[in-house]
Amino acid sequence: MNFTINKKASLIIQVIFWILYFLLVFKLLEINNRNDFKTLFQSICMVLTFASISYFNAFVLIPKLFTRKKYVIYSLIILAIIVITPFFYLWIVKTLQSIIWPIENTFRTFSFPGRANNRFIRLLIPTIIFLFGSTTIRLILDFSKNEKQRIQIEKERLLAETKFLRSQMNPHFFLNALNNLNAIIRLSPDKSEKYINTLADMMRYVTYDCKNNWVPIQKEINYIENYIYSQKIKDDDIVVTFETNIEDENTQIEPMLLMPFIENCFKYGVFDDGKKHPIQINIKQHEGKIYFTCENSINTNAKVNSDPSYSGLGIKNVKERLEVSYASKHDLKINIIDNVFKVKLELGKIF
């Protein structure tokens, strides 16, 4: 069940509740008070007291202590509030009344029907009720809000995964790979076996491992190495520097998360001007975090490179996946400096 309501409706409900409670208190205090102004004064003090402890509990204690699992500290503070509130109310009413009506020294500070020695109990009970009620309402609203966010995140994940599955396999890549294989068999038969094994490993990774939400980072690195090999074998002008330094090979990462950046290096890099422009790719891990960088020379005069996000749907999908899976645990920077397209990605530890 969804208990979330908009801010305007919530404010209206709260105002109506406190007005009704004020009228109830006023009616009860009016029984033993002859002065309507004094009854009004005591009613206002009581409403302000219970409203204060309710909102303090709901907006300060619960988010800062209870939701952070500091249950002992939270319980001690609540117990202190329960004990102190009745005394505080009686003291503040007596003090203010002595200022407003100084000649009435014997004025009763609390005039609920009943004996004077029951004043503390008659204040203690509503104190407990308001604290328990504010806690219950806040937890219900938080649960409903979190559940709504969880459902939304799940929808976004499914959408991102669908886009990912559609984009992870590039039919043109494997079609070109088969054409390259045909050329390799004719020109360099000794390289054909390794090339076939490389393509088989890549297909195996995409077909089986990528069905999982997370894969060991070493498998992602192996795929990247195979991809680089498949590109270099068909173009001798390509120069790639690929360095890795991984502390834990079993660290989990979303499959094919880095590939759109690497594919863009080969797709948009400059290799046809008679010079070798190296592609630099680095993946390292430190204290559980993964740091990925890649850069390649580009032709800034080309229209496709005029925007740092020129890579299109590939990187757009990566950004969506990062927002869903890594939320605040990632930092992505993409820019062009001196005709060099640079990508820096930091991934926080998830598991």
* pLDDT-wise least confident of 213-222, 239-248, 320-329: 320-329
pLDDT (mean) for 19-34: 82
Q: How far is the C-alpha of 127 from the C-alpha of 80, rounded, in Å?
A: 11
User: 3-12, 78-87, 243-252: which range is least confident on average?
Assistant: 3-12
Which structure tokens are listed for 107? 């004025």
Where does the chain show beta strands of DSSP type E? 215-216, 240-245, 252-253, 279-286, 289-297, 330-337, 340-347
Sheet holding 330-337, edge to edge: 240-245, 279-286, 289-297, 340-347, 330-337
Output the pLDDT for position 33: 65
Q: Which residue has the higher pLDDT, 88 or 107?
A: 88
Decide: 233 and 184 in contact? Cβ < 8 Å.
yes
Residue 273 DSSP one-character state: S
Q: Residue 17: count other Cβ atoms within 10 Å of its Cβ.
A: 11
The per-residue b/e assignment along 196-226, b for 16 or more CB within 10 angstroms, e otherwise, is: eebbebbeebbeebbeeeebbbebbbebbbb
pLDDT, mean of residues 204-214: 84
10 Å CB burial of residue 109 (0-12, 13-18, 19+) is middle
Return the pLDDT at 105.
46
pLDDT at 163 over 70: no
CB distance 69 to 120 below 8 Å:
no
User: Rounded to whole angstroms, how far apart are CA atoms 233 and 229?
Assistant: 6
Residues whose CB falls within 8 Å of the CB of residue 280, separated by 6 or more in sequence, listed in order: 240, 241, 293, 294, 295, 296
Topology of domain 169-347, CATH: Heat Shock Protein 90 (3.30.565)
Report helix, strand and coil shares of the chain as percent, to nearest 5.
60, 10, 25
The tokens for 128 are: 């407990």
Averaged confidence pLDDT in the chain: 81
Cα(256)–Cα(160) distance, rounded to whole angstroms? 13
Q: Is the dihedral of CA 95, 98, 104, 105 positive or negative?
A: positive
Question: In which band, very low, low, confident or very high, does the pLDDT at 169 lie, cut at 50, 70 and 90?
Answer: low
State yes or no: pLDDT of 117 exceeds 70.
Answer: no
Q: What pLDDT does 338 receive?
A: 83
* Other CB atoms within 10 A of residue 66 CB: 19
Q: What's the whole-number mean pLDDT along residues 103-129?
A: 63
- Asked if residues 240 and 225 have their Cβ atoms less than 8 Å apart, the reply is no
* Per-residue confidence (pLDDT) for residue 225, from 0 to 100: 95
Q: How far apart are CA 222 and CA 201, in angstroms?
A: 9
- SS3 string, 59-78, reads HHHHHHHHCCCCHHHHHHHH
Q: How far apart are CA 30 and CA 24, in angstroms?
A: 10
Rounded distance between C-alpha atoms, residue 253 and residue 189, angstroms: 36
How does DSSP classify residue 112? -
pTM of the model: 0.57
What pLDDT was estimated at residue 115? 46
pLDDT at 42: 84
251 or 338, greater pLDDT: 251
* 279-286 vs 240-245, strand pairing mode: parallel
Q: How far, in Å, CA of 68 to CA of 212, rounded?
A: 31
Residue 281 makes CB contacts below 8 A (sequence gap 6+) with 224, 228, 240, 241, 242, 243, 262, 265, 293, 294
- Mean predicted confidence (pLDDT) in 25-33: 78
Q: Where along the chain do the CATH 3.30.565.10 domains lie?
A: 169-347
